[in-house]
A = this chain, B = another copy of it.
């Protein structure tokens, strides 16, 4: 039991919720560690949405709105943290949702699918094929989903897979708290923000942007600006951290 008087109560409570999701087979144990890694970067950025991230979220909404075959790739961490928010985003942008796991087992895939459906998410079904140029089960995805998507939102994705998707010519939108990760560097657009803060903002912009605004925003942008924005903020905060 976490004492309420603990200064890191909120963070400890999220950890505890994720721990229960791990016990329930939604989250892999490795996923818990990955969450902690993200936590540290969030902490270094002040646990709030930076201006640069907010702009990236707006552009992400534009890309999803202008896509012909948008897909949201959901893994265990995303399901555990944000099932309801994924449902809202799906409703707002009409994307297909594909469950796609790094630590893949058929049983966990089924558990996550069931959990998301209970939360109102429509899940794409089918037989996974080895369509990505990667070893092991990481190559697997659905031909009618990620395989033929033009725009893919990958919250909390592995760097190898993100790079492979981008290398196939797809527009890859990553949500990743580490602005230096291979995921962050290889995505077309990187949102350096905490997942549950980022998703509602993207959803709102998906609803609010008119088609002209969306077309204009999804045109030229330089992803390095978003990575640099996050790095700059971390450096700025570290400068006076011990004062």
Contact = CB atoms under 8 A, between A and B. Distances in A.
A224 interface: yes
B29 A39 contact: no
Interface stretch (A65-73, A207-215, A228-236): A228-236
A5 B164 CA distance: 14
Contacts of A16: 30
B36 A29 contact: no
A180 interface: yes
Interface stretch (A17-25, A83-91, A111-119, A198-206): A17-25
Given A33-B33, A238-B231, A6 B160 contact: yes
Interface of A: 1, 3, 5-8, 12, 15-16, 18-19, 22-23, 28-30, 32-41, 43, 135-136, 138, 159-160, 178, 180, 182, 224, 227-228, 231, 234-235, 238-239, 241-242
